Structure 1
Amino acid sequence: MQGRTVAYRYTSLLSRRAFLAGTALSLSAAKANALVQIAEMRGSIEAPELGLLPNTGTDQTQQFQNAVNRAVENGRALFLPAGIYPVANLRFPSGTLIVGIPGRTRLVYQGGGGLLARAEGVSNVGLSGITFDGANRSIGEFTEGLLHFIGVRNLSLENCEIVGSTRTGLLVDRCSGRIQDCRITGAAEAGIRSNEATGLSITGNTVADCANGGIWVHRWKEGEDRTIVAHNRVERIGAKYGGTGQFGNGINVFRAHGVSITNNMVSDCAFSAIRSNTGSNVQISGNTCLRSGEVAIYSEFGFQGALISNNVIDGGTTGVSIANFQSGGRLAVCSGNLIRNLTDKGPYPAEVAGFGIGIAAEAETTVTGNVIEGAPRFGLLLGWGPYMRNVVASQNILRNCGTGIAVTVVEGAKSAIISNNVIQGSEIGAINGYRWLDKATGELNNVTDFSHLSVTGNQISG
């Protein structure tokens, strides 16, 4: 073994920079250069120098942990040559910096009821260019993730891949830092789950083919979170546990305030592309949401403050739902969204107002400058029963919808202004009052029969 290690060390030391630079054939020049710089800064340690060899076919957990600890003690990065490293239950201490060859350095979980790797109560942990393979082996009951980071300050995962987890792929609790340019696929639950973040960015990742969720930003109790979720690609997300929207969402916010969800590409989710439950001051802007199984974008339950703007929604049972005034949900701006190709067939028997709605809004909400085409039930649904207060619907284009605008006329509903909208080709009516699901009025444009409504200046055509 000693002779083999020396020979490997000699070869790898001569060729490391050439080997790293050669990855430019499969990576962008910027990423390849960054990889070289990371591996060589402060003089990285080659894993074989510390007795850690790839492709041995034997469990390398002890050798791997020793190599990590030695590199940290010396204040240096650990470079992992390409190959397979069978390991389990690794611990990353403060100052860990491990660099591999993207797509070629592979840590394979050995099972045994644990997890692949974790870090807890530490700082400055960086992982780059590594594939973490769960091999679909059982994970212990003490954790819900193949990789689990707890209370880590300045965590960095960059250009890594996480595959084959029998639970969540990447679980981060009370962490700050960034998850960037990674690929997470095939998780049996969520791809990425953050709980109680303390300053986290989730950007530029691909999360695909996960059985229960894509990216989750959750808190155990309501509070400021301010996670940034941007420029991710989330695809083919299932709802293994069923339900009516608890699972099966591309990006899911729960009890987390101040989250920014921008410029993501989200497609083929069993339920919502983006779902914010009790998330106040959430911003959902510039996203593309394709072929959602239920409501494409949801802001629901006890939220106060939601900005939903400039999203493209193509496919779903409802475009945007800003709901649950009866539970405290209020205060929103919904503008500049393009919504089309909706269906009135949902993943479960229809409840409340049903499916096939462009935008639904209830309280302290402006709905302006949206374009909606082909909502089979309602282009806009304003209020529900007595639950409506201070809603403005103005300067929207509604084309080929069942009813262009449905507004509640149930006793107790408060004020709404419906003005200067363009409504064309509505099959049932352009602007009608509804009592729950029952049409209760004729056309309301320029009609003053209801003191809580101002309906003026709308352009209606067949």
Structure 2
Amino acid sequence: MRRAFVQDANGSQSRPSFPFRHSSGRHGPCDPDCTLFGVFRVPLDRRSFFLAAASLALPVAASAATLDSASFGLKPDAGDDQTRNFQRAVETAAGSRLPLRLAPGSYRIGEIRLPANCQIQGVRGQTRLVFQGGTACLVSPRADLVTLSGLVIDGGAKPLPDRRGLVTLSHGRGVRVEDCEILGSSHHGLVLEGVEGMVRGNLVTGAAKAAIVALDSKGLTISQNTVRSAANNGILVWRTLAGDDGTMVEGNRIEDIAARDGGSGQNGNAINVYRAGNVTVSGNRIRGCAFSAVRANAAANIAVTGNNCSGLGETALYIEFGFEGAVVANNIIDGAALGVVATNFNHGGRLAAIHGNLIRNLTNRRPAGTDPNDPAGVGIAVEADAAISGNIIEGAPSAGIQLGWGQYLRDVSVTGNVIKGAPVGIAVSVAPGAGHALITDNLVQGASQGAVVGMEWKRPVTGDLARDGVGRFAQLTVSGNRVR
């Protein structure tokens, strides 16, 4: 852009002068090469002008108003119960639309009811709320714009009612729970019902039921949290009735999940999705679960991608019971009874794409409480309307890939997989009523009982179809497989 010039009375050109208030208070033209900011003289080029203006604005932006908890009589590390003063503080802060700032230290409180617009800020790892009893420590029945940040919420194993969390937030939009620690809950850790918002960067440990429960969500993201030592489940994404949910469970670290209340898979899972459609589970690090890393029951259009899973007691990634639509891709599984299972065609379970997974070090043992007749030691198992491609399976003690169970097999494609060290490379059902399968261009190494074997339930009934051909099983196409 061309600079404008002015001509003085003598005819010479110069840059225009800028009006500015001098230290005397008088308006007038300034020296074009300098100006006054207080008592300092600085060059007035474009860069300096904007830097100076920004530096003047910074203190204003950094001094956003908050309410200090001390003004409500709240005293850190006091030995007495401070519930009454704490309740007054959060109600005043919410009414003023200002955050309540808590100093470092411990605050002994009972049940605190959070109104809409309530924001509580602590010092991360240093501001501790010590629960003294009630139906929850922090509860909001109408949680619009509720924000909790930088708090340690210590349940101390105090009794809680059924289905409650130490923190329970319901029916709110714009909810934020960030950089908090939720410890020692006698029931669930954090319960969110009908919530839209973000749960990010929290530590939830020692929950006696589930660490995080999301019920009937309306656009929720659960990301970058650490969940440890939950007695029954890590993260639950459930709906009362099957329908669209859209929760994203991303980048969490979930470890040491037990199944204290037993069962055949309803407990012992890092992430459990039930009836919730269009859920994304991606990029999580999951280690040490009694049952599954991800278990999805009747969950339509679920995507399970890029998770790193190890030390699982049953099926690592389990898609079951009436699901319709699943993508299971690019996951790492090291240590489980089964790798990836998409099953229950008898209950309508169908439509899966299973691609690019690395599955290794499986065992043929299942945990207590499961049906002893169910298979184990299988890398990938599917039943209906599924494509299995580009996976690598090593060390499956029963079979690398299992297609169908009895008559429950329909329209399955298996292409371009690498299977190493399984006694049966690919087991395919040829029981009466079993449907079509395409098995092509796979590499199978070390399959002592056959690269492709026809099965009637658990019983092998053919030789190696990859070498001998499909014979009378016209519903099968087996070609181009490399057997070593």
What's 1:101 paired with?
123
What's 2:379 paired with?
358
In structure 1, what is the Cα distance between the partners aligned to 2:238 and 2:63? 36
Write the mapping of 1:49-448 to structure 2, written as runs, cut at 5 A: 49-111=71-133, 113-141=134-162, 143-348=163-368, 350-445=371-466, 447-448=469-470
**One-letter code aligned to 1:458:** N
List per-residue Cα deviations over 1:13-40 (Å, max 9, x = no partner): xxxxxxxxxxxxxxxxxxxxxxx99x96
Q: Which runs of 4+ in 1 moved over 2 A?
A: 39-42, 348-353
Q: 1:226 aligns to what SS in structure 2?
A: coil
In structure 1, what is the Cα distance between the partners aligned to 2:256 and 2:458? 33
In structure 2, what is the Cα distance between the partners aligned to 1:382 and 1:248? 26
In structure 1, what is the Cα distance between the partners aligned to 2:329 and 2:113? 42
Q: Please say which of residues 383-392 and 48-57 is displaced more in the overlay.
A: 48-57
Q: Please say which of residues 342-351 and 125-134 is displaced more in the overlay.
A: 342-351
The TM-score, its normalising length taken from structure 2, stands at 0.86
- Report how far residue 448 of structure 1 moved: 3.2
What's 2:475 paired with?
452
In structure 1, what is the Cα distance between the partners aligned to 2:148 and 2:360? 41
Query: For the aligned residues, what is the CA RMSD?
Result: 1.6
Q: 1:340 aligns to what SS in structure 2?
A: strand
List per-residue Cα deviations over 1:348-383 (Å, max 9, x = no partner): 365444210000011110000000000000100001
- Report how far residue 80 of structure 1 moved: 0.4
List per-residue Cα deviations over 1:120-142 (Å, max 9, x = no partner): 1231000100011101111135x
In structure 1, what is the Cα distance between the partners aligned to 2:387 and 2:127? 51
List per-residue Cα deviations over 1:163-183 (Å, max 9, x = no partner): 000000001111110100000
Q: 1:138 aligns to what SS in structure 2?
A: coil
**One-letter code aligned to 1:88:** G
In structure 2, what is the Cα distance between the partners aligned to 1:382 and 1:155? 44
Q: Is the 8 A contact 2:135 2:164 kept in 1?
A: no
List per-residue Cα deviations over 1:385-413 (Å, max 9, x = no partner): 00011100010000001211000001111
In structure 1, what is the Cα distance between the partners aligned to 2:143 and 2:273? 26
- Report how far residue 421 of structure 1 moved: 0.3
What's 1:32 paired with?
none
User: Per the alignment, do residues 202 and 216 of structure 1 end up closer, same or farther by CA in structure 2, a change over 3 Å counting?
Assistant: same
In structure 2, what is the Cα distance between the partners aligned to 1:41 and 1:320? 52
Q: 1:49 aligns to what SS in structure 2?
A: helix
Q: Is the 8 A contact 2:143 2:175 kept in 1?
A: no
In structure 2, what is the Cα distance between the partners aligned to 1:138 and 1:83? 24
In structure 1, what is the Cα distance between the partners aligned to 2:172 and 2:204? 20
User: Per the alignment, do residues 404 and 218 of structure 1 end up closer, same or farther by CA in structure 2, a change over 3 Å counting?
Assistant: same
Q: 1:84 aligns to what SS in structure 2?
A: strand
List per-residue Cα deviations over 1:170-213 (Å, max 9, x = no partner): 01111110100000000000000011001100000000100000
In structure 1, what is the Cα distance between the partners aligned to 2:310 and 2:331? 11
In structure 1, what is the Cα distance between the partners aligned to 2:87 and 2:388? 56
| Structure of higher CA gyration radius | 2
In structure 1, what is the Cα distance between the partners aligned to 2:94 and 2:453? 69
List per-residue Cα deviations over 1:86-128 (Å, max 9, x = no partner): 11110111111111011110001002x4221100123100010
Q: Is the 8 A contact 1:42 1:77 kept in 2?
A: no
List per-residue Cα deviations over 1:397-435 (Å, max 9, x = no partner): 000012110000011111100000000011322110000
Q: Is the 8 A contact 2:156 2:184 kept in 1?
A: yes
* Aligned positions, number: 424
**One-letter code aligned to 1:425:** G
The TM-score, its normalising length taken from structure 1, stands at 0.90
User: Per the alignment, do residues 400 and 70 of structure 1 end up closer, same or farther by CA in structure 2, a change over 3 Å counting?
Assistant: same
User: Per the alignment, do residues 117 and 346 of structure 1 end up closer, same or farther by CA in structure 2, a change over 3 Å counting?
Assistant: same
**One-letter code aligned to 2:213:** R
In structure 1, what is the Cα distance between the partners aligned to 2:273 and 2:143? 26
In structure 2, what is the Cα distance between the partners aligned to 1:78 and 1:441? 72
In structure 1, what is the Cα distance between the partners aligned to 2:235 and 2:143? 24
Q: Is the 8 A contact 1:255 1:277 kept in 2?
A: yes
- Report how far residue 71 of structure 1 moved: 1.4
List per-residue Cα deviations over 1:322-369 (Å, max 9, x = no partner): 000110000010000000000001113654442100000111100000
Unaligned runs of 5+ in 2: 1-57
**One-letter code aligned to 1:98:** I
Q: Is the 8 A contact 1:353 1:436 kept in 2?
A: no
In structure 1, what is the Cα distance between the partners aligned to 2:282 and 2:453? 34
Percent identity between matched residues is: 42
Unaligned runs of 5+ in 1: 1-35
Q: Is the 8 A contact 1:102 1:129 kept in 2?
A: yes
**One-letter code aligned to 1:402:** P
